[in-house]
Amino acid sequence: MTKKTQHSPWMVLATVTLGTLLIGMDRTVVNLGLPKIIADFGISLSTAGWVATAYIISNAVFVPVFGKLGDIIGDSKIYLWSFVGFIAVSVLAGFSWNASSLIFFRVLQGLVGAAVYPTAMSLIVKNFKDKGQRAQALGLWSASFAAAAVIGPLVGGPLIDHYSWRMLFYINLPIGLLGIFMVLAYLPQDKGKERGGFDFYGAITLAVVLSSLVLVLEKGREWGWMSLESVLLYGLIFIFALWFIRIEKNHPSPMIDLKFFGNQTFVVALLVSFVSFGGMMGAMFLLPIFVQTYLGYDATETGLLFLPMALTMFVAAPLGARLSQKIHVRYNVALGMSLVALGIYLFSGLDAKTSAFELTFPLMVLAVGMGLGMAPLTNLVASSVPAHEVGIASALLNLTRNIAGAVAIAVFGTLLSNVTESTVLEIGANTVINDPSFVNLVPGLVILKSQILAYREVFLSASVITVFGAFLALLLKDTSKIEERKSSEEVSS
């Protein structure tokens, strides 16, 4: 055994958590810089939207690819080169000379960044042999997802205000160099165990399915859900999904082993993740818009608003891992998702007079729920598949969360627009003006009232969806026997 493999697994956790934070921050913080990017390049809002969309599509397509490559080549190799690639592309993105070059570099960022999540989870599973410590480690790592969404605006807001949007990319250089040092110092070398060759045709067909799906979710509201563009993408998704399934059934080392979906524990865990993340991401997408539009918060103040949530998450995640050792996982996850639903429900009372405490308290309740539920749920996914397939399993988990977020933003955004429009008509039809001096004020007040009521209804819908996730969690099964089988497999290998 080399000296490198003797490092504490907690340093492995610290290393992969840094990468998760870096990639997560980059995904969220660039949106803050879009107004300045529009002004600098003289582009439309629609064109600027591709800066975010290009990254999301590329990331979604390559997450399962790198999950599989990690299982074949080795996670530490993939993780190291993804870090190197991400730093290089980030610097290039900072030097972008027009919108086209920036969008191109964002595609590359999404590509290399896609390697971090699946390999990080697999490295945690491989290096934490103790079941209890592994659950705590996965809980802390999962909490970094939420922390990234908070730290991003906290760091990015001042950088944009005092320097330039280009600093959003340059800041990745010092953080990334630290990450490379930690990878070289603390990550043990591992070898892949998958055999049978890489499934190129499966990767290509899956890429078409995922890119089409994410594209229609991102642009469907703008194009129209039944527009020609959307319908063509629906057709591509259907045709290539069938082709992908046919390829996977016959390949000796498929991109995604379809036997996963005969595993009830794995399937239910993905369903719970999809539903709960959908509800949470829908709410988290709308809340910053609400507080900046109706409460007058700037980007930095909005980031500070989420800080108590991130701190609460880091406390609750290890607690959720410990509870999962004493309470059946189904009750632990169901309790967590119920608290998430409660936190989202509390936002249904928002209005133009809402105080900072009335915003942070529901966020903290939501964070407790995510901490209690995410740790055992992530550990459950890792323990429900053979050890040599943890990489692709974690890729599917991350992909499920990403698609859930895209679906939620598309659905809740459309719902917000439709409810606002119908409420404007309803309030307008029942409004009587007795004083002519108020005639010019009424349309604005009606629209304002309608928008706030629409936000309330959307938050209520998101909480109901998350409650459904809590009920789904009750279908989860104990995986102790699977854990024992995995441990035997690791010892024998």
Cα separation, 352 vs 299, in Å, equals 18
Residue 431 confidence (pLDDT) above 70: no
Q: To which H or E segment does residue 423 belong?
A: helix 390-429
pLDDT given at position 146: 67
Q: What is the mean pLDDT of residues 233-251?
A: 87
Q: What is the mean pLDDT of residues 179-192?
A: 80
pLDDT given at position 490: 46
Cβ atoms of 421 and 78 closer than 8 Å: no
Cβ atoms of 80 and 183 closer than 8 Å: yes
Number of helices (H) and strands (E) in the chain: give both, helices first: 19, 0
pLDDT given at position 164: 83
- Residue that the structure tokens 């989420």 belong to: 306
Cα separation, 294 vs 353, in Å, equals 9
pLDDT given at position 425: 61
pLDDT given at position 318: 74
- In the structure, what pLDDT confidence band is assigned to residue 491 with cuts at 50, 70 and 90? very low
Cα separation, 345 vs 283, in Å, equals 10
Tens of pLDDT along 30-66?
777 777 888 888 877 667 777 777 787 788 778 888 8
Tens of pLDDT along 13-29?
888 888 888 887 777 77
Tens of pLDDT along 130-141?
777 777 787 778
- Residue with the bigger pLDDT between 113 and 392: it is 113
Residue 492 confidence (pLDDT) above 70: no
The superfamily CATH assigns to domain 1-198 is MFS general substrate transporter like domains (1.20.1250.20)
363 in helix, strand or coil? helix
Domain spans, the chain = 1-198, 200-250, 256-493
The superfamily CATH assigns to domain 256-493 is MFS general substrate transporter like domains (1.20.1250.20)
- Residue with the bigger pLDDT between 461 and 387: it is 461
Instruction: Tell me if 1-198 shares its fold with 256-493.
Output: yes
pTM here is 0.75
HSE value, Cβ hemisphere, 13 Å, CA-based, for 214: 23
- Residue 263 token pair: 């595993």
